Structure 1
Amino acid sequence: MSNALEVTDSTFGDEVLKSDVPVIVDFWAEWCGPCRMVGPVLDEIAAEQDGKVKVVKVDVEANQATAMKYGITSIPAIYMFKDGEVDKQTVGAKPKAALIKEFGLNA
């Protein structure tokens, strides 16, 4: 079971933009091999950062409006939102240590 919350076009605003804590958003698709590789890494980060950072997943196939709004053209695209704004972003599957460093998380 995933520790990341599935969000949709209709729940993105409440779950991400209005969040009291920073949110890591994994823009992914079922058919994407690298997306499936990074999923478990993000689940670990979600468990370890529980209460400090929220991790959510957006299926770009099913939620095209949100993907288009943020210009997602390559996946996995992993964005960090703080106070409703994109703070940091990266594209591609990366190891856990690289994601922790890139997003300024405490290991």
Structure 2
Amino acid sequence: MLTRVKTMSEAVRLVQDGQMLAVGGNALHRTPAAFCHELAKLGRKELKGVGAAPGYAMDVLCASESISEVYFGFFGFENEYGLAPGMRKGIQDGKIKAVEGS
């Protein structure tokens, strides 16, 4: 029987340049931070990020310039910390296209 279980490094390598990536969790809670850190190390480019309320994990990808478009309802670090800095800088610098859809 074939196993579908993969190590983190095997799973991360499945993501290729230009793909759309849905990131779970909610702002600072239950996010796949370790996965996104590993993905950022690979230097993937032109990813399209999708999440209802992406936060830290996807912001890591924005800060590493892996994300070129992001689709979201709210993208921040809860009320106390404001907008996600990697996403905000990427949008302000014209490197990330933001599509807000609450």
Give the TM-score range, shorter chain: under 0.3
Bigger RCO (CA 8 Å, 6+ sep): 1
Query: More strand per residue: 1 or 2?
Result: 1
Higher Cα radius of gyration:
2
TM-score (norm 1): 0.27
TM-score (norm 2): 0.28
